[in-house]
Structure 1
């Protein structure tokens, strides 16, 4: 998966078979995707890796290539998730301010022209047609483990739709049935999209294998995505779905065979591919899957030779340490003194207060993600990251179990407490009692455990603390001490380019 790279899957995949001499290579045969799989069913492995790669890479030919027409450095999927889920919330702020990034960091003045909204929207609508095209082809060819492959493709499509539902709230529902349709499709509501993804994932969980190749989805990855959909059901549809989330969370924690990684720091190091906790990673490799997105963006963006010894974290320093991301006191201030997770910040030469978010020394850079190994010896520092991104992991499922229980979704009070204390004990944080286990505590614990992993904005919205003035954090509403913001900000605006491309789309309220 880290090595195979396949050309674009849009409608046709051109594969050139050649006759080689000492001087040149001339293309002899050009095959469609269907013809290719009919001739070589084993090619499905490479094609499927391309779909997974759409979440980790910018394009098929290195970090300067892009599957979409957007900037290959700025537009990869995970970079978009970190920008939109973490920088817009209370934990992390970015100082660059380039062409729309200030709007995210200050959670203010969002509009349809912001390129960072466009990047994620375009990446979503790149991945969905890719999946649709392959599903059409798989109807007419035979490949090994065909039902499993189809389930994986449907999972990847559902994952793209999940982020559309969460971030933009509506869009166009296009499946393999509409492949090849050129007329603009009608707008689908958040509820319509939710219902589609729900039905897809229910089928997917039953057809995915209990174990799979590292980096590919198994039934527990499908269950995790479905559980996340249900946990946010009240936000997405107006109807509480916690009782539906519980069986899938319980499936993960009781049947999945996962266990907490003994050392928290190992989850975010270069050899985390051996972790027993990660349910689904986005794979990174410093040589074979280079990208300015993925964990490269997190690690390089958190480094600066002016105040840090970046080599400690596998970063070469200089121009390869981008001096962008720092934690506000709203994140760093969550930790008790003996919590090892609170030690994963660089504090020397930096201030606790972020009086100026554009000043590098205001706020603490997170060193949670790093490009050094935890267990094995580390090689030379590299620009591109070897550290896989844990998109889904067991600690998240443990905290979801406790939250689901507190919200009346089901489960055991003793297990809920045990799971939370297991997470805390791993980092030597003080254990809590049943009386401490409240929803407010769960939100804070999710901040301590999961921040900078693409969850924070969604968590704050689900807990009713993202918009309004009940909960303020530094630079919310473009104020150093935080200011109330409108409920409009619970969704991002639909990008102008999407509105122009499809007259059936309408803008989200307030924009």
Structure 2
């Protein structure tokens, strides 16, 4: 199934020129291939899908391209970080502002999701503008759903975005931003109208009825957090629950028996509702998990031959939250002395490779080369590669279950199901992580509704690096805020353990609140990031629009607070 979608993607990219869409600043700049013939040919749904290549390509690039949606959703959170690496190239400096919530309009991460999403929207609009395509109800629904998915990502990150539905615009046209309310309603309406025409068949890597349910569920689940100045409307949690119940009750997807199965390369797992397909040969793009996370010289850990960049690391406070018997800790993270595949200690320039849990600071001085536990959740394939052919799950069934559990807890029960049903759901998911100690998989309602076990507080050890490479002029900062004041803090913990580095954390931290009215994203401190306890100041819930886009289109206005 994977190679069917890759063949469609490759064919479409080969026969059609790449879309030249200047980040929603000049919709007239388009060069497209034409359908051969005299126009009398009536295309089938399969013919139309063969032209979706640019859509698939832009989804891949938006998500896991350099500084894509996955990074921007995780680097500003409390689970992972990319500190300044003073011993090596130091390229992590570009992530520091993101991690510290010191956003500005020149952060590089603000480019790719905006640019690639609007390229994808442009591709959808081009096909929908063709009557021979839009007259096919199933294809029209698919394209509207893909377009809604791109808009969902843009809305999540920026809120105040241009909303364009056609390429048939006058010369010199420059788009303007739509109000967040209108954009939200547009996305929801597109999905509601498209769902009846979408297939319920499961084809790997392609959107279907259940993918639309997941986008809608996310729109409803986050509605109150996205519009914090309005009165909380709990009916949105009911709507989110209804959407995921369709997925769960129809039984087309099943939970993986092993936690890591959905993150393997070249392997379809029936837990995955929507995957973005990566293949360095056929799709022209693989995932960069090895290169981004590992130190140069780490090749023998995985049997790869190309070098890595030494960037990201686990936040030590998060690694400390895992139960000792939770297999997801070692499934996801690698630390300590490192050996090759034969069990031999690896040395780099005569020094034993040993990834420490602790890190000095996000900057000043940053981190030494071997500091920080490294991610191994996504399979790193042996061979002559720098990227892997992982098929990344954007939505998986576990996410649908967790949405249901959260909604039941926020509603105090719904449609005949109770808070205990929510606890039973979380317990069910945890069982695969506690196979050797099943009693620890059990989560109670009280635990989920109680505080977080995360030891929040500002942590860093700053100083200067002398000529010998030692840290001098040391200033230790260690505060303790804890997590007892987080509402549904136990559930927030379970979301972290289950979905680390799956583009969840920023959205989750914004959605979960503290007893002082702040959301966790702003109101808590963690490694290298200070708290903002002004509950009315939530401007960093969204990002500034990158300066280059503002310069290119004078109709765009910067987001408030930047």
> TM-score surpassing 0.5?
yes
Change (3 A) 1:150 1:40: closer
Computing the radius of gyration from Cα coordinates, the structure with the larger value is 2
Matched, 1:383 2:386: yes
Q: Counterparts of 1:423 and 1:452 in 2: how far apart (Å)? A: 18
Task: Tell whether the 8 Å contact from 2:49 to 2:139 is kept in structure 1 after alignment.
Answer: no
Matched, 1:45 2:36: no
Corresponding residue for 2:318?
Answer: 331
Corresponding residue for 1:508?
Answer: 559
Matched, 1:13 2:53: no
Q: Counterparts of 2:128 and 2:18 in 1: how far apart (Å)? A: 11
Task: Tell whether the 8 Å contact from 2:59 to 2:117 is kept in structure 1 after alignment.
Answer: no
Aligned residues: 456
Task: Tell whether the 8 Å contact from 1:57 to 1:289 is kept in structure 2 after alignment.
Answer: no
> Which residue of 215, 222, 226 maps to 1:232?
222
- SS where residue 333 of structure 2 aligns? coil
Corresponding residue for 1:370?
Answer: 379
**1:235-258 Cα deviation digits (max 9, x unpaired):** 223353212211101111111421
Q: 4+ residue runs of structure 1 moved beyond 6 angstroms?
A: 33-37, 482-485
**1:302-323 Cα deviation digits (max 9, x unpaired):** 22354674326xxx1552x221
Correspondences of 1:398-417 after superposition (within 5 Å)? 398-408=401-411, 410=414, 412-413=417-418, 414-417=420-423
Corresponding residue for 2:516?
Answer: none
Corresponding residue for 2:361?
Answer: 356
Matched, 1:118 2:118: no
Change (3 A) 1:153 1:35: farther
- SS where residue 129 of structure 2 aligns? helix
Farther off after superposition, 119-128 or 387-396: 119-128
Shift of 1:215: 0.5
Farther off after superposition, 330-339 or 97-106: 97-106
Q: Counterparts of 1:430 and 1:308 in 2: how far apart (Å)? A: 35
Question: TM-score by structure 2 length?
Answer: 0.75
Shift of 1:423: 1.0
Q: Counterparts of 1:233 and 1:259 in 2: how far apart (Å)? A: 28
Matched, 1:303 2:294: yes
Task: Tell whether the 8 Å contact from 2:68 to 2:113 is kept in structure 1 after alignment.
Answer: yes
Change (3 A) 1:351 1:468: same
- SS where residue 111 of structure 1 aligns? coil
Corresponding residue for 1:453?
Answer: 502
Q: Counterparts of 2:312 and 2:213 in 1: how far apart (Å)? A: 32
Shift of 1:167: 0.5
**1:278-326 Cα deviation digits (max 9, x unpaired):** 00000012321232xx6x22232122354674326xxx1552x221111
**1:147-202 Cα deviation digits (max 9, x unpaired):** 22111111111011111111011111111275566422332111111000010011
Where do 5+ consecutive residues of structure 1 fail to align?
15-30, 59-74, 373-378
- SS where residue 510 of structure 1 aligns? coil
Corresponding residue for 2:427?
Answer: 421
Task: Tell whether the 8 Å contact from 2:289 to 2:378 is kept in structure 1 after alignment.
Answer: yes
Farther off after superposition, 110-119 or 297-306: 297-306
> Which residue of 525, 529, 544 maps to 1:493?
544
Task: Tell whether the 8 Å contact from 2:54 to 2:123 is kept in structure 1 after alignment.
Answer: no
Where do 5+ consecutive residues of structure 2 fail to align?
20-29, 84-89, 337-353, 435-439, 450-487, 514-518
Matched, 1:432 2:432: no
Change (3 A) 1:53 1:142: same
Corresponding residue for 1:71?
Answer: none
**1:123-157 Cα deviation digits (max 9, x unpaired):** 122111111111011x23588xx322111111111
Shift of 1:396: 0.9
Shift of 1:216: 0.3
Task: Tell whether the 8 Å contact from 1:286 to 1:386 is kept in structure 2 after alignment.
Answer: yes
Correspondences of 1:204-219 after superposition (within 5 Å)? 204-219=194-209
> Which residue of 270, 275, 278 maps to 2:272?
278
> Which residue of 169, 174, 199 maps to 1:184?
174
Task: Tell whether the 8 Å contact from 2:110 to 2:546 is kept in structure 1 after alignment.
Answer: yes
Corresponding residue for 2:254?
Answer: 259
Change (3 A) 1:488 1:453: same
Task: Tell whether the 8 Å contact from 1:268 to 1:369 is kept in structure 2 after alignment.
Answer: yes
Q: Counterparts of 1:123 and 1:421 in 2: how far apart (Å)? A: 38
Corresponding residue for 2:132?
Answer: 140
Question: TM-score by structure 1 length?
Answer: 0.82
Change (3 A) 1:205 1:260: same
Corresponding residue for 1:322?
Answer: 309
Change (3 A) 1:111 1:288: same
Q: Counterparts of 2:305 and 2:383 in 1: how far apart (Å)? A: 12
Q: Counterparts of 1:126 and 1:455 in 2: how far apart (Å)? A: 23
- SS where residue 476 of structure 1 aligns? coil
- SS where residue 110 of structure 2 aligns? helix
- SS where residue 60 of structure 2 aligns? coil
Change (3 A) 1:402 1:509: same
Shift of 1:508: 1.2
Corresponding residue for 1:468?
Answer: 522
Corresponding residue for 1:247?
Answer: 242
Change (3 A) 1:401 1:179: farther
Q: Counterparts of 1:422 and 1:225 in 2: how far apart (Å)? A: 24
Task: Tell whether the 8 Å contact from 2:82 to 2:92 is kept in structure 1 after alignment.
Answer: no
Change (3 A) 1:185 1:282: same
Corresponding residue for 1:22?
Answer: none
Q: CA RMSD in A?
A: 2.7
Q: Counterparts of 1:101 and 1:33 in 2: how far apart (Å)? A: 47
Q: Counterparts of 2:124 and 2:155 in 1: how far apart (Å)? A: 18
